[in-house]
A = this chain, B = another copy of it.
Amino acid sequence: MQAPLTILKIGGNIINDPPTLTKVLKDFTKLSGKKILIHGGGKRASALMRQMGLEPNMVDGRRITDAATLEIVTMVYAGVLNKNIVAQLQAIGCNAIGLSGADGNAIQSHKRIVKEIDYGFVGDIDEVNGKNITQLLVAGFTPVFCAITHDKKGQLLNTNADSIASRLAAAMGRYFKTKLILCFEKDGVLSNPDDDTSVIPSITFQEFQDHKASGVISAGMIPKMEGAFFALQNGVEEVYITGIRALEKRKTKGTKLCL
C-alpha cells in the first residue's frame, strides 16, 4: 500500500495576511503523513514592481513576464516569500525545504509558445521529477514550492502555482496515495458567485463541463478546475477546492472533485 501524501496549494490572499498565513502553516504542520506545500505570491510581486516604478501587466489574470518582471517574481517567490515560509515552518517543527522547479530539477517547463499573446518568460510544465521529490520526502524533508520553474537550459520561468500543484500531484500519485487541496479565498466552488455559502459539495467532470457551458463556473475558476480534474484523472486519489476554514478543522470540506 502506498503511503499518504497531502499536497496543499495556498494563494496570495493567505500569504499577504501574516496572521492567516501563520495559522495555515500550523494547520499544515499538523497534517499527518508526508506533505508538500505550494505557494503563490503574485500580489506581493505586483507591489514590489510598483515600488520599483514598473507597472504589472496582466492578461486574463496571467502575468506578462518580461526580463525585469521575471527577476522580481524570482526575488519575491523564491526569495522573501519562500524563505520566510520555510523559516516559519521550521520554527514549529516542520522540516521544510524551500524549492523552485530548478532545484533538484524538480519541475521542467518550456517558455510558452507565442500565439495571440507573448507572455514572455512564462513556463508551461513539461515534466515533474517525482523521483527526486520522493527522495526528499523519504529523507524526511517537507518540500515547499514557489511558482518558478526552469527549462533545463538555464532559464527560469514564471509558472502558475495552480498548474504546478496539479501537475506535481499527478506526478506524485505514482509514488504516494496523494490528496490535493487547492486552498483559496472562498470556501469552495460556488454555484452563485455572489453567495459565499453556495458551496458545491462535490462536482463530477461532467457537471463541471455543464457548469462551464451555462456560465455558473467562469473566469479564473476554469483553469484552476481543469488542472484539478487533470490531477484526478491522472492518479491523484482525492482533490478538493476549498478555503482555509476547512483546513483549520483538519477536515477537507469544500468542493470535492469526482470522476
Chain A residues close to B by CB (< 8 Å):
51-52, 71, 74-80, 82-84, 86-88, 90-91, 95-100, 102-105, 132, 135-136, 139-141, 148, 150, 152-156
Nearest 10 CB-CB pairings of A with B:
A79-B79, A75-B75, A91-B154, A75-B79, A87-B102, A135-B139, A87-B150, A97-B103, A97-B104, A86-B102
Q: Is the interface of A mostly helix, strand, loop or mixed?
A: helix
CB distance from A217 to the nearest CB of B (A): 35
Q: How distant is the Cα of A90 from the Cα of B102 in the complex, in angstroms?
A: 7
Inter-chain contacts of A141 with B (CB < 8 A): 104, 132
Which residues of B lie under 8 Å from residue A148 when comparing CB positions?
83
Name the CB-closest residue of B to A138: B139
Complex CA gap A73/B82 in Å reads: 14
Asked if B87 and A80 make an inter-chain contact with CB atoms under 8 angstroms apart, the answer reads no
In the complex the two chains form, what is the Cα distance from A102 to B144 in whole Å? 12
Q: List 9 A-B residue pairs with CB atoms under 8 Å apart, sorted by A's residue number.
A: A51-B52, A74-B80, A75-B80, A76-B79, A86-B102, A90-B152, A90-B154, A96-B103, A104-B141
* Chain B: minimal CB distance from A169 (Å): 21
In the complex, the answer to whether B104 meets A156 with C-beta atoms within 8 Å is no
**Distance in Å: Cβ of A68 to nearest Cβ of chain B:** 11
In Å, the complex CA distance between A76 and B78 comes to 10
Residues from chain B with a CB closer than 8 A to the CB of A103 are 83, 86, 96-98
Contact B154 A87, beta carbon cutoff 8 Å: yes
Question: Contact: B84 with A156, CB < 8 Å?
Answer: yes
| Nearest chain B CB to A73 CB, angstrom units | 9
Q: How far is the CB of A172 from chain B (nearest CB, A)?
A: 17
* A100 lies within 8 A of B71 (CB): no
- Nearest-Cβ distance from residue A145 to partner chain B, whole angstroms: 12
